[in-house]
Structure 1
Amino acid sequence: MKRPNFDHAARIARVEVIRGVRAIRGSGTRTVAMGFALLFWTVIPTLVGGFAAYSLGQALPDAPFEVLSAIRGGAAVWWVGVAVLVTARTAGKRGELDHPEGILTTVPARDAALGLLLAEYGRIVLVASVPVIAITVALVAGSGVFLSLLVVPATAILVFALATAVGFLGGVAVKWVTIRTPWLAKHRTALFAVAFFAYMFAIVSNTFGDVVALLSGALRGTPLAWFGDAVLLGLPGIEANPTYAVAAVAMTVVLLVVVGSLSVRATVTLWYTDRAQTTVDDDAVREETETTERNHRERDSYSGETRSSGETSAVARALSSVVSRPTLTVTRGAWRRAKRSPIKLLYVAYPLFFLYGPLRTAFETGVVPKSLPPLVALYGAWAAGATVLNPLGDEGAVLPTTLLSGVSGREFVAGHVLSAALVGVPVVATMTTVVGVVSSLALGQSLLLGVLSALFVVAGTVLAIGVGTLFPRFSTVEVFQSREVVMPSKGAFVAYSLVLFGGAAGAVVALVPAYASVGATMIGALASALASSTSANAISAGAAQVVGGVVAVLVGLVGPTVAYRYASRQFETYVVE
């Protein structure tokens, strides 16, 4: 293979980075997501790393710990972390061209492949530049050694370059195996979900910290640790080995040439590789065919002419004697959509981050806190309702047929309620009860909480359908690996979450006297804010319990009734524009 044209590759990389920035700025959702990412990847490392570097510089030459050993292990672990991150990103979307037909007919494939590699390196440098500069300046300010102004940024550039090249090659290899293996291609979304939850479990259970500590000790004596010597050159009281530093530079240069060439070859091979047949799910023709088939199948089901499909599950047979056929068809249609595109339900996992504290406490102490069972019930109810938060938009191209099929608004709403409740009620009730039993709650309290969680799931599901009907969304958004799916609107997310969590907070204030005073303070502050008063309007704890009870009743009883009627009426009178 001929050498890539670096000018072509640099231009492609520049365009890819600029397009990525514009895509983030053009989407409110992406902007918020990037803001959270930058919080963990830029803001926190800048503040914590800058403070640590300044403190270390001040303490030298009498540091309170073995600096060289710690930095060697840290540099090696950081290299591994960046390489793993780039591997995951490349195996997802970054190893593919957005418009391959246009680019590959304009420049050689090798130039485009190198361009993607350089683009990924550019993104890493953009995110990491601020923390690296802050740490460098803080270390120089603390130690007074100006040599660090050169060696710290230079070492960071080398670490990121080598880690990006190795990670890019690893991601291309993973992607090649995935698209060539039918089973992996078919279940890649499920495997991604498993990997995500495994990562979350590792973070919560402190397994991640144990792995980092193990890697730090294991890699401390490897060539990857030589980058640590390069960073510490010239600092007083630290015997950094200049030979290791020079060897790290030489190793990086050699490996960049070798790994970079392999990455370009592997990427070109990936683009021209025949893919397993099960990976055509994202192909436009396949999507159009599936939509057409589903259109005819569900139209026939609503009208009662034929069965929706050959599948007849035990649940469907049991429900057929209890609910009407149109209601059952709506339920099965919702299940089929979730089965065909489970990636669209990924957003249901977002609130799991708020359970980090109680779960971490449970793993560290071995004692499940009393706050965890109610939180599990609340999250389960929210998640069940969130799966049907866009009932009209989820119909997609079938919506006109559904509206004209003869199914009533009550049947449409009942079908969606069943689709979420039949799965959510047993799962949430069981998990809530089990967590309650494991915690210090009494058995009777755990069982009562399990029953209440089941009722909460049903109420939350009906509320979600009403809110989703009020704020429908029909446009698609990109979620993972260039997959575009219809997601609930941001307005529906915010409104549904505020209503459900507000009702739960009201119930807690009304039923738990210990939280009544807190509720009284918050209600008084809210009343003062609404009245534009500088002094808080204090209310008694008893009054707060009454207010909390009223809010809980409105959300748990009145709200679902209003939402059910509203959604039914809106479906029957909805006009497709």
Structure 2
Amino acid sequence: MPADRAGDSSAPTETESSSTDGVASRSSRSSRSSRSSRSPQRSGSSLATIRAISTAERRQEDHRRIATRRKKVLAYVVLVALLPFFGFLVWGGYQLGNLVGGGELEEFLTLARWYVPIAIGLYAFVGAVEVGDRLLEFEARDLLLTSVRDRDLVLGLLLADLRKRSWILIGWTLLLTVAFGVGVGSATATVVVSAAAAALTAASILLGYAVGLAGRVALARLPIGGGVRSLLGGLGPVAVFVVFAAGGMYVGQLSGEGRDAVAELAPDGPPPIPIAYYADFFVVDTPLSAGIGPAAIASAAVVVASVPVLVWAVAALAPIHWRMDRSRAVDEGSDGRPTNDATARAASTATRARRDWPWLATPTGYVADGVLRRAIRRPSRLAHLVYYGMAASFVVLTVLTEGSGILAALGAAIAALGVLLAGGAVGLNPLGDEGSMLDQLVLSAFSPETFVHARLLAGVALGLPLALVGTALLGLGALTPTETLAVGATLVLSVPASGAVALGIGTLLPQSEPGTVLERFESRPPEKLAMFVHGLLIAALVGAAVWLTLADLESTTRGIGLAVVAATTLLAADGSYRFARRGFAEYGRPKTRDPIYALELVAGIGLLGLALSLALESGLVLVIPGTGPAVIIVAAVGSFAGWALAGVAYLLSSGRSWEYLDGRVPTARDARLLAVGIASSLAIYGGFVAITSVLDAPVVEHALSTAVVDGGFPFLLAVLALVVLVNAPVEEFLFRNVVQKRLEETISARRAIAATAALFAVLHVPAFLPGSPTAVAVTLALLAALAVLWGWLYAKTGSVVVPALCHGVYNAVVVTVAFVGAL
């Protein structure tokens, strides 16, 4: 079927296969001689055929990209974690609209006219790179004998691709332009700006498709070797990315320096090309608009008319590319073994050339040596490192725009590259990288831990020298000797942590099927989602540690911050390592119990809940304009939703069904325990108030309890509904039904209750900041005591409803007491 592609890791489902019946029929790969005499049947409607191809391709891609629950869950978690970033961009668009609508940013129109050609180039670059995602990786070269016309096939694939881009590029562009229009305060401006931006984005992407296809056809016809052609085709997009990133960094730096600096960006004189006057549509119905002139109308006509022309160009160029005989050097087969005699001889020679190095005497060193040699013999295994090269270039540009010298920029990039490569080089696909040899590997004489240790050692061997060289360059270019030692120690400790985290993420998201990197380099690359999550997590942890080391902070603040970052890094690294070790050890074998891993796992679930809670809360605050009780309620709902999402993410990613939830209706015995639990909860609270009053001990009120005092009686009712119906059930679901229940699978119920209570209290620290350490500690003692009681109730009843009701009643009493006490 047309939707099926070579290298696809997931076979189409029955539904997907049936969607393409009658669309295209496979023919033998050996029938190239009859391509020129192909006479396709033209039965059926072209529109119906195009729609069927698009639907089948979209379903196939959805199945391939998120074929497992783990991928889907991780993708959603990352999206939620990035919500503050998206919210900040939306807020920026809204504020920009306010300035333009108020006539306060007179230079905006001039800047917009100069920016339109850049935006066209940026979107065209994305289209030129992404055209290979579907139109080139498609199996059409082997499916040219089909009942579907080339044009319909191209249009179907193009429609499927534009559907995908509409969510990512066009949809995001529309969101920003709508925020801008709302900021302007004009419905006319909102509609016109959104329509103009959507049309320009779509036309620019199609331009990129056409240019990308034409460039690939021209490159394939050059009289150069296949290796050089692949290198040019693969590294070309990287160079363009660096150029656009440099421009973006420069503009961003000037934006941070104020409006005067931004105004200096606009050169004197008219824009270089007439299409720039398309920007006049972005100031419609604002004080900056002087009307839509002939140049703007002509630009709009060009944009609209270019869409069908570019679609025709894509439909003409894609089949030409399909029919071209392109010889691709295949480094290895699906089983990971050499596929030709020359490769086999080279591998054999390299193996014989092995000397009796000291590290070969240990199993870990022997396996690590093999991993590195295999990567060196077949560089295609490391082709995915080109993405890390792009990240390094981004670091260089960031440091340069901050005013540092070239030595500091290179040092920061090399150090960052070393930390990332410690995990990204050979650790992000430990199971899938072995191919069909995995069965024999885990049954070998070496222990499963050996293979995990070997990849960790290989990653450290690659990353540590780079981290040290980068630190030395930073010391020569920007840092004092003391700062150099501190940063160097941080980076050296981060190298093995990066390797361990990568092993865990790679075990969670294995990729066993061959693929390509930047369309050119055939390899078995890790999942892109795995690379992104690893890079994002390591960048956040290492960046926080380096910032705390170099920032001008009080010693106490610096020490606490570094301790938190170090503990989080250690938890992530050791938990990931244990998960990877279990992945090898339990492959084809019964599962084993690991109490330490269980404790680290539930701590990770709790930290994930805290991160998602803060992300949703801050993201909603940025997106929702205004302040007041309504914003507080919405932000609180988002915060509690983050905790719930962490629990749901664990259940789905671990393969557990909704039957895992203990939400049954309480029995008569449960009702008696419920009464005891409510009375005990209130007694603990009363005793806490009495003791702290007698001892004059400091305490901290929860943010909602403080806000309800100023909100009045209607706000009190809303908060009561929130803490009883949302807060209590969500926290009991996560901490009792997920965390405590998971711990009880490995350790005793008493220890599980105690560990859950401690985690419950510690994760509430952000809710009581910026209180004094003593006041926070005293308040957390109360929460820990309550958590022990609620954990005991859950263990006795086996129903999360009972502790949730106790929790809700306790919350309601605390909030009401705070409100009444302020009257």
Cross-structure match for 2:154: 113
Pairwise CA distance, 1:275? 0.8
Q: CA deviation at 1:69?
A: 2.8
Equivalent of 1:435, from 469, 474, 480? Answer: 474
Partner of 1:85: 126
Distance 2:246 2:294 in 1: 37
1:65 is the counterpart of 2:65: no
Q: How does 1:316-331 map to 2 (within 5 A)?
A: 317=355, 320=357, 323-324=360-361, 327-328=365-366, 330-331=368-369
**SS of aligned partner of 1:244:** helix
Q: Secondary structure at the match of 2:333?
A: helix
1:287 alignment partner in structure 2: 333
Larger deviation, residues 21-30 vs 423-432: 21-30
Give per-residue Cα distances to partners, 1:499-546, cap 9 Å, x unaligned.
x959x969x89x999665126656xxxxxxxxxxxxxxxxxxxxx98x
Measure the CA separation in 2 of the matches of 1:107 and 1:242.
45
Shift of 1:161: 3.6
* 1:351-390 CA-partner distances (Å, limit 9, x unpaired): 879x96x973553233699999899768734641454435
Please report how far the alpha carbon of residue 205 of structure 1 lies from its aligned counterpart in structure 2 after TM superposition: 5.6
Instruction: Work out the CA distance in 2 between the residues paired with 1:150 and 1:395.
Output: 54
- In structure 1, distance between residues paired with 2:191 and 2:528: 49
Q: Which residue of 2 aligns with 1:220?
A: 271
Q: 2:205 aligns with which of 154, 164, 168?
A: 164
Which deviations, in whole Å up to 9, do the C-alpha atoms of 1:11-40 show, x marking residues without a partner? Answer: 544554565566666532444566789987
Name the amino acid aligned to 1:176.
V
Shift in alpha-carbon separation, 1:312–1:86, aligned structure 2, 3 A: same
Q: 1:74 to 1:66 in 2, by over 3 A?
A: same
| Contact 1:189-1:343 at 8 Å conserved across structures | no
CA contact under 8 A between 1:121 and 1:160: conserved in structure 2?
no
SS of the counterpart of 2:336? Answer: helix
Matches within 5 A, 1:398-547: 398-403=437-442, 406-407=445-446, 415-416=454-455, 418-442=457-481, 446=484, 457=495, 459-460=496-497, 463=500, 473=510, 475=512, 480=517, 485-486=525-526, 516-518=555-557
- 1:429 partner amino acid: L
Structure 2 equivalent of residue 303 of structure 1? none
Question: Given the alignment, which residue of 366, 387, 412 partners 2:404?
Answer: 366
For the Cα contact (< 8 Å) 2:181–2:189, is it kept in 1? yes
Cα RMSD for the two superposed structures: 5.9
Structure 1 residue 76 and structure 2 residue 127: aligned?
A: no
Shift of 1:243: 1.8
Partner of 1:202: 246
In the alignment, which residue of structure 2 is the partner of 1:528? Answer: none
Specify which of 212, 225, 244 is matched with residue 295 of structure 2: 244
Write the distance in 1 (CA, Å) between the matches of 2:474 and 2:294. Answer: 56
Query: Is residue 259 of structure 1 aligned with residue 313 of structure 2?
Result: no
Whether the aligned pair in 1 keeps the contact of 2:245 and 2:397 (CA below 8 Å) is no
Partners of 1:179 and 1:276 within 8 A in 2:
no
The 5-angstrom pairing of residues 333-352 of structure 1 reads: 333-337=371-375, 339-345=379-385
CA contact (8 A) 2:274 2:299 kept: yes
- Distance across 1 between alignment mates of 2:107 and 2:529: 52
What secondary structure sits across from 1:341 in the alignment? helix
Aligned equivalent of 1:132, options 154, 174, 192: 174
Are the aligned partners of 2:177 and 2:194 in contact in 1 as well (CA < 8 Å)?
no
Superposed displacement of residue 171, structure 1: 1.6
Per the alignment, do residues 463 and 94 of structure 1 end up closer, same or farther by CA in structure 2, a change over 3 Å counting?
closer
For the pair 1:55 / 2:99, whether they are aligned, the reply is: yes
Letter of the 2:289 partner, please give it: I
Gap regions ≥5 residues in structure 1: 301-305, 523-543
Structure 2 vs 1, CA of residues 220 and 94 (structure 1 numbering), >3 Å: closer, same or farther?
farther
Matched with 2:35 is none
How many pairs align? 524
Contact 1:384 1:420 in 2 (8 A): yes
Q: Give the secondary-structure state (helix, strand or coil) at the position aligned to 1:366.
A: coil
**Conserved? CA contact 1:472–1:488, under 8 Å:** no
Measured after TM superposition, the shift of residue 112 of structure 1 is 1.7
Q: Structure 2 vs 1, CA of residues 488 and 297 (structure 1 numbering), >3 Å: closer, same or farther? A: farther
| 8 Å Cα contact 2:467-2:492 kept in structure 1 | yes
How far residue 323 of structure 1 moved from its aligned partner, in angstroms, is 2.9
Which residue type is aligned with residue 164 of structure 1? Answer: I
CA gap of 1:426–1:197, structure 2 versus 1, over 3 A, is farther
- 1 CA distance for matches of 2:88 and 2:295? 30
Percent identity, aligned pairs only, is 20
Per-residue CA deviations over 1:67-99 (Å, capped at 9, x if unaligned) read: 543332233332222222211211x31323645
* Aligned residues of 1:76 and 1:227 also touching (Cα < 8 A): no
- 3-state SS of paired residue (1:268): helix
Alpha carbons 2:433, 2:524 under 8 Å: kept: no
**Residues 447/296 of structure 1: CA separation in 2 closer, same or farther (3 Å cut):** farther
Taking the aligned partners of 1:129 and 1:307, their CA distance within structure 2 comes to 50
How far is 1:105 from its partner? 2.0
Gaps of 5+ in 2: 1-38, 255-261, 591-823
Tell me the CA shift for residue 291 of structure 1. Answer: 2.7
| Alignment TM-score, normalising by the size of structure 2 | 0.50
- Residue 570 of structure 1: CA displacement? 9.4
Q: Equivalents in 2 of 1:287, 1:219: separation in Å? A: 57
- 8 A contact 2:375–2:381 mirrored in 1: yes
Distance change >3 Å, CA 399–CA 449, structure 1 → 2: same
In the TM superposition, residue 397 of structure 1 has moved relative to its aligned partner by 1.8
> Deviation at 1:266?
0.5
Instruction: Give the 3 Å change call, closer, same or farther, for CA 137–37 of structure 1 in structure 2.
Output: closer
The question of whether the paired residues in 2 share the 8 Å contact of 1:382 and 1:460 is answered with no
Quick check: 2:423–2:500 contact (8 Å CA) kept in 1? yes
**How far apart are the structure 2 equivalents of 1:23 and 1:94?**
13
Does the aligned pair in 1 maintain the 2:189–2:285 contact within 8 Å?
Answer: yes
SS of equivalent to 2:402:
helix
Change (3 A) 1:137 1:487: closer
Which structure has the larger Rg? 2
CA contact (8 A) 2:419 2:491 kept: yes
For 1:266, give the aligned amino acid.
L
What SS is found at the alignment partner of 1:274?
coil
Whether the 8 Å contact between 1:332 and 1:419 is mirrored in structure 2 is no
**For 1:34-83, what per-residue CA distance to the aligned partner results, in whole angstroms no more than 9, with x for missing partners?**
6789987x755543333323431232xxx542454333223333222222
**Structure 1 residue 334 displacement after superposition:** 3.6
If the length of structure 1 is used for normalisation, what is the TM-score? 0.67
Q: Deviations over 1:486-505 (max 9, x none)?
A: 559979x78x969x959x96
Amino acid paired to 1:433:
A
Q: Over residues 102-141 of structure 1, what are the superposed CA-to-partner deviations in whole Å (9 max), with x where a residue is unaligned?
A: 7972421111212333444444444434653663585477
Q: Would the aligned equivalents of 1:473 and 1:488 in 2 still touch at CA under 8 Å?
A: no
2:280 to 214, 223, 229: 229
Q: Distance in 1 between matches of 2:346 and 2:204?
A: 55
For 1:165-185, what per-residue CA distance to the aligned partner results, in whole angstroms no more than 9, with x for missing partners?
Answer: 211101212333455561345
State the SS of the aligned residue for 1:220.
Answer: coil
Which residue is equivalent to 1:183? 227
Match of 1:534 in 2: none
